[in-house]
Homo-oligomer: A and B are copies of this chain.
Amino acid sequence: MAKEDEVSNKQVIFRDYITGFPKETDMVLTTRTIKLKVPDGSKAVLVKNLYLSCDPYMRGCMTKKLDGPNYIPSFIPGSPIRGRGMAKVLDSDHPNFKEGELVWGMTCWEEYSLITMPDGLIKIKDTDVPLSYYIGLLGMPGLTAYVGFYELCSPKKGEIVFISAASGAVGQLVGQFAKIMGCYVVGSAGSKEKVDLLKNKFGFDAAFNYKEEHDLDAALKRYFPEGIDIYFENVGGKMLDAVLLNMRNLGRISVCGMISQYNLQKSEGVHNLFCLITKQVRMEGFLVGNYFHLLPKYYDFVMPLIKEGKITYVEDTIEGLDNAPGALIGLFTGSNVGKQVVVVAHE
Contacts and interface: CB of A to CB of B under 8 A. Distances in A.
Contacts of A268: 269, 271
A274 B236 contact: yes
A283 interface: yes
A283 B245 CA distance: 16
A281 interface: yes
A37 interface: no
A14 B257 CA distance: 45
Interface string A281-305: 1111111001000000000000000
A117 interface: no
A219 interface: no
A255 B273 contact: yes
Given A68-B245, A245-B68, A284 B276 contact: yes
Interface string A175-193: 0000000000000000000
Interface residues of A, number: 35
A1 interface: no
A286 to B, nearest CB: 5
* Count of this chain's copies in the oligomeric assembly: 2
A3 interface: no
A170 interface: no
Specify the main secondary structure of chain A where it touches its partner. loop
Contacts of A236: 273-274
12 contacts: A236-B274, A255-B276, A256-B277, A267-B271, A267-B274, A269-B270, A270-B273, A275-B285, A276-B284, A280-B285, A282-B285, A283-B284
A290 B280 contact: yes
Contact of A280 (B68, B70, B272, B286): B286
A314 interface: no
Nearest to A217: B68
